Amino acid sequence: MKKYDLEAIDVHAHYGQYLVKDSIQKKILSASLSGVCKRAKASGTSLTIVSPLSAFFPEPGNPIAANTKAIGEIRNRREFLLWIVVNPLAPETFEQAETFIQNDFVAGIKIHPLIHNWPIKQFGTRIFEFATKYKLVIQSHSGQKNCMPEDFVDFANEFPEVKIIISHLGCSDSTSLTLQIKAIMKSKNNNLYTDTSSFRSIFPGLIEMAVKEIGAERILYGTDSPLYFAPCQRARIDHAEISQQDKDLILRKNAINLFGDKIVKRLIKKDICW
């Protein structure tokens, strides 16, 4: 197995059963925490931030039950941090989040306007006010219905204390590859980020373009494991035509800067992952 000089931090992964109608996809795109951890090891990743797939699938998922189970499973797994999934159409998810967000195994809150079928334009204030109150990082699906990257810009500008990751660099319902890049360029407070958890991020030149336009400081490493093969996502960054300093920022340093002690406390443990 390849030895990596720099252990990465994966800010965007999942675990559990991918409960869709297609039986082949269900089989090959599902993985337990141990399975995700195995792929993390193969890609030189020491810490992975996950959300449970059962919060979204079968659509629209069951965030309350999924969060409850995940809290029990992640609490003592030092190789993971957890995104608590909230849905403004289910107010009880906010009540649940309030109970657990201060725990050191919780990275922040995850939203999925596409699958949970609510527009960020309508509910963004609720989400950002909650994040401001508790000083939370937000991770959101982006690039598709209800969550176009440009729709986050006004909220990011209005709530400068909130850090938000508009995930899936290059993702869109069109041929455009630059929606996330353009949104970040419009933000005023350096609090809008994207991650590499998109199959389009492996396109030649896209990582390089993003680094040139918005800076490596605004990009975090994400794999969308187990939906994508984590070692492939890692190889894209390792072989990107950018400086080693930029690779270090994307793979590790940006995450440490963004999540602070929640990550540092995990990393200093010696029993992580393998």
* pLDDT, tens digit (0-9, with 9 covering 90-100), for 202-258: 999 999 999 999 999 999 999 999 999 999 999 999 999 999 999 999 999 999 999
pLDDT confidence of 272, banded at 50, 70, 90? very low
**Residue 101: both structure tokens together:** 């967000």
Residue 113, classed as helix, strand or coil, is: helix
101 Cβ contact partners less than 8 Å away, ≥ 6 residues apart: 84, 108, 109, 134, 136
* pLDDT, tens digit (0-9, with 9 covering 90-100), for 9-26: 999 999 999 999 999 999
Nearest alpha carbon to residue 227 among 2, 10, 7, 47:
10
Q: What is the mean pLDDT of residues 190-207?
A: 97
**In angstroms, rounded to a whole number, what is the distance separating the alpha carbons of residues 187 and 200?**
23
**Ramachandran angles phi, psi of 243, nearest 5°:** -70, 160
Burial of 75: CB neighbours in 10 Å, binned 0-12, 13-18, 19+ = middle
Is a pLDDT exceeding 90 seen at residue 197? yes
**Residue 165, beta-bridge partner list:** 139, 193
**Residue 150: both structure tokens together:** 């440009």
State the SS3 of 15-63: EECCCCCCHHHHHHCCECHHHHHHHHHHCCEEEEEEEEHHHCCCCCCCH
pLDDT at 1: 64
Which bin fits 171, alpha (ψ -120 to 50), beta or left (φ > 0)? Answer: beta
Helices (H) and strands (E) in the chain, counts: 13, 8
Assess contact for 86 and 115: CB atoms under 8 A. Answer: no
pLDDT at 270: 44
112 Cβ contact partners less than 8 Å away, ≥ 6 residues apart: 55, 56, 85, 87, 140, 141, 147
- What domains can be seen in the chain, in order of their start residue? 8-267 (3.20.20.140)
Q: What is the mean pLDDT of residues 61-74?
A: 98
